[in-house]
Amino acid sequence: MIEVNDANFEQEVLKSEIPVLVDFWAPWCGPCKMIAPFVEALGEEYTGKVKIVKLNIDESPNLASSYGVQGIPTLVVFKSGQPSGKLIGAAPKAKIANLIEQQL
C-alpha cells in the first residue's frame, strides 16, 4: 500500500494512468482501522486495474480539505486526475468494491 502526501500526491494520484482509490484516514480513527483490511484486500484483487493509496489527513490536511474531506474514513476514486467517486464512513468490502467497479 502506497502512502501519499503533499510531496507525491500529484505523481501517484493525479498523473496515474489507471484509476486511484485514495483512503483518507488517520491513525487515531477507529472506523479507518475497521476498513483497512478490506481496502488492502481490494488492492490485491484489483492489482493492475486500480491503484490504492492511503493519505494520512494529519500529515496532509490541506489535501484533505481541498477534496472536501470532512469526516474519515473517506474513500475517493480519482480517474484521469479528477475525483470521480466518493464513499464516506466505514463500509463493507462489497460496497467499497462497488465504488471501484463503477470507475473501471
Angle between helices 30-45 and 93-101 (to 10 degrees): 50
Catalytic residue among 13, 29, 75, 91: 29
Q: What is residue 99's DSSP assignment?
A: H
Active site residue 46: no
Q: Is the peptide bond before 92 cis (omega within 30 degrees of 0)?
A: no
Specify whether the CB–CB gap between 64 and 26 falls below 8 A.
no
3-state secondary structure of 10: helix
Active-site entry in 32, 35, 64, 96: 32
Return d(Cα 32, Cα 79) in angstroms, integer: 23
Active site residue 32: yes
Q: What's the one-letter identity of residue 64?
A: A
Q: Which residues are catalytic?
A: 29, 32
